[in-house]
């Protein structure tokens, strides 16, 4: 008996008085003829993948446009021709000043260079710039404009009074980004998953599953599973003898070998997310007049959905986040957190990042009590309550593509389905976080 089946058999379900029929619904999509389908099809599946950007809803078209990144020639196999964090430099755009006025901007020029110190002649590098104020625990992201000739324009809003320091990091060279672009275009997925099937006589079979038929790495037929609420599709290689509707479990599979030794050198830790040598001395930011505020915050409306997002969206000062689009609030004490949560039911759905937020609240607010629902902890459902103030907190993981230990299918919950089951109202709060983006091309999530 396989490791999943041993765990699966450990789940005991007591059904009292009622028997709930379980229906797995399938529908037809325009994949190859050797894909096995199971009728009936409850509704047409989404066809975004086959549509042009022009035919997408405007929101999706905007997201697709954000994926633009300039094409670059690559290094032609010469690692030393790739962008180097050790030799790339930046300097002030204009002459240095004794101090800078609060509410203005600081601008700098960054010149990308290869490992031989030669200036690059094309853009496409991923640089991240920040203005930091260690003395007041402040920080704001800078804008990086790629001029696509090896030069980048850096711009930083000066939002707090006091000392500030520019920091620039090379996240990925343009050559490394070319590797990622090629992998996403050619491989589609960099991980796979396992599907566990079990027949009525106890026959067990394990196959590869993934986000599309090609990524199941089978030359034979595949099983298609469609989420009836979201239209999202999932595929497993057809088991040798068992039918598609005998899928009972899911787990992580393997990281796929999708890189060459040269690719790995371009993505190595010693050239990834590295700080460039300091190019600008610390600056002093002054208030415009004595007694004025030490922060550059103009009057802003209360926060609500639909507000335009400025760039940057905000900044930290003394470890407090200040939004530049609306008058956000902070909750730095236990009483303020409880006051915000009082009378609310909070549903958190997503990945482990959001689960850590749930754990943080329990650690920070000792009066919140965790209720043991006997779940698989890293899947949920996790629940915490404070009955006196009518507070209920829930967290649960998203469904496919979920990287986790062997898990019964009944433990996987579609976020779209869960949202559809919420009544809503003024006391309901929903917090969503996406799954990990690194193992699939960004277009998959759009």
Which three-class secondary structure string do you get for the chain? CCHHHHHHHCCCCCCCCCCCCCCCCCCCCCCCCCCECCCCCCCCCCCHHHCCHHHCCHHHHHHHHCCCCCCCCCCCCCHHHCECCCCCEEEECCCCCCCEECCCEEEEEEECEECCCCECCCCCCEEEEEEEEHHHCEEEECEEEECCCCEEEEEEECCECEEEEEEEEEEECHHHHHHHHHHHHHHCCCEEEEEEEECCCCCEEEEEEECCHHHHCCCCCEEEEECCCCCCEEEEECCCCCCHHHEEEEEEEEECCCCCHHHHHHCCHHHCCEECCCCCCCEEEECCCCCCCCECCCCCCCCCCCCCCCCCCEEEECCEEEECCCCCCCCCCHHHHHHHHCCCEEEEEECHHHHHHHHHHHHHCCCCEEECCCCECCCEEEEEEEHHHCEEEEEEECCCCCCCCCEEHHHCCCHHHHHHCCCCCCCEEEEECCCCCCCCCHHHHC
Q: What is the mean pLDDT of residues 298-316?
A: 89
Residue 342 has pLDDT above 60, yes or no: yes
Specify whether the CB–CB gap between 251 and 194 falls below 8 A: yes
Specify whether the CB–CB gap between 171 and 130 falls below 8 A: no
Q: What is the mean pLDDT of residues 338-348?
A: 94
Under the banding of pLDDT at 50, 70 and 90, the label for residue 210 is: very high
Residue 52 has pLDDT above 80, yes or no: no
- Calculate the alpha carbon distances from 229 to 42, 45, 47, 84, 299 in Å: 10, 10, 15, 47, 42
Please write the tens of the pLDDT for every residue from 82-131.
999 999 999 999 999 999 999 999 999 999 999 999 999 999 999 999 99
Phi/psi of residue 345, nearest 5 degrees: -110, 115
pLDDT at 389: 92
**What percent of the chain is predicted at pLDDT more than 70?**
84
Residue 49 has pLDDT above 80, yes or no: no
pLDDT at 25: 27
Please write the tens of the pLDDT for every residue from 240-266.
999 999 999 999 899 888 899 999 999
Following CA atoms 253, 223, 438, 147 in sequence, which dihedral angle do they give, to the nearest 10 degrees?
150
Residue 48 has pLDDT above 60, yes or no: no
Residue 24 has pLDDT above 50, yes or no: no
- Calculate the alpha carbon distances from 251 to 245, 288, 352, 408 in Å: 17, 59, 16, 9
- Which residues, in sequence order, are CB contacts of 213 under 8 Å at separation 6+? 31, 32, 35, 222, 224, 235
């Amino acid at each position: 008996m396989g490791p999943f089946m041993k765990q699966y058999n450990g789940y005991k379900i007591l059904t009292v008085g009622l028997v709930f029929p379980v229906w797995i619904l399938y529908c037809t999509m325009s994949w190859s003829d050797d894909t096995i389908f199971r009728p009936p099809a409850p509704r047409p599946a989404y066809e975004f993948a086959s549509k042009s950007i022009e035919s997408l809803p405007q929101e999706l078209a905007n997201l697709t446009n954000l994926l633009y990144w300039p094409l670059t020639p690559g290094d032609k196999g010469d690692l030393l021709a790739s962008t180097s964090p050790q030799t790339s430099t930046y300097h002030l755009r204009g002459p240095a000043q004794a101090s800078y006025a609060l509410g203005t901007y600081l601008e700098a020029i960054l010149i990308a260079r290869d490992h031989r110190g030669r200036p690059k002649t094309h853009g496409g590098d991923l640089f991240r710039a920040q203005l930091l104020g260690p003395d007041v625990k402040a920080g704001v992201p800078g804008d990086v404009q790629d001029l696509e000739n090896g030069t980048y324009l850096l711009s930083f809003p000066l939002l707090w009074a006091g000392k500030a320091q520019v920091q620039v990091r090379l996240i990925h060279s343009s050559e490394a980004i070319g590797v990622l672009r090629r992998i996403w275009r050619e491989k589609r997925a960099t991980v796979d998953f396992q599907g566990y099937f079990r027949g009525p006589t106890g026959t067990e079979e394990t196959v590869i599953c993934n986000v599309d038929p090609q990524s199941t790495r089978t030359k034979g037929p595949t099983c298609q599973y469609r989420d009836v609420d979201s239209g999202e599709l999932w595929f497993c290689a057809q088991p040798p003898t068992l039918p598609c509707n005998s899928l009972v479990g899911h787990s992580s599979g393997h990281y796929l070998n999708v890189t060459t030794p040269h690719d790995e050198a371009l993505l190595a830790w010693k050239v990834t997310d590295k700080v460039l040598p300091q190019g600008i001395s610390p600056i002093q930011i002054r208030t415009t007049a004595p007694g004025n505020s030490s922060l550059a915050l103009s009057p802003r409306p209360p926060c609500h959905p639909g507000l335009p997002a400025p760039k940057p969206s905000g900044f930290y000062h003394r470890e407090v986040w200040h939004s530049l689009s609306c008058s956000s609030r902070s909750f730095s004490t236990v009483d303020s957190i409880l006051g915000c949560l009082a009378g609310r039911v909070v549903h958190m759905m997503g990945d482990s990042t959001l689960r850590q937020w749930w754990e943080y609240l329990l650690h920070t607010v000792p009066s919140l009590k965790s209720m043991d629902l006997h779940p698989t902890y890293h899947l949920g459902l996790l629940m915490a309550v404070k009955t006196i103030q009518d507070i209920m907190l829930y967290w649960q993981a998203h469904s496919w593509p979920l990287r986790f230990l062997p898990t019964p299918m009944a433990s996987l919950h579609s976020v779209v389905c869960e949202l559809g089951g919420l009544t809503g109202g003024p006391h309901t709060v929903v917090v969503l976080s996406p799954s990990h983006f690194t193992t699939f091309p960004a277009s998959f999530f759009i």
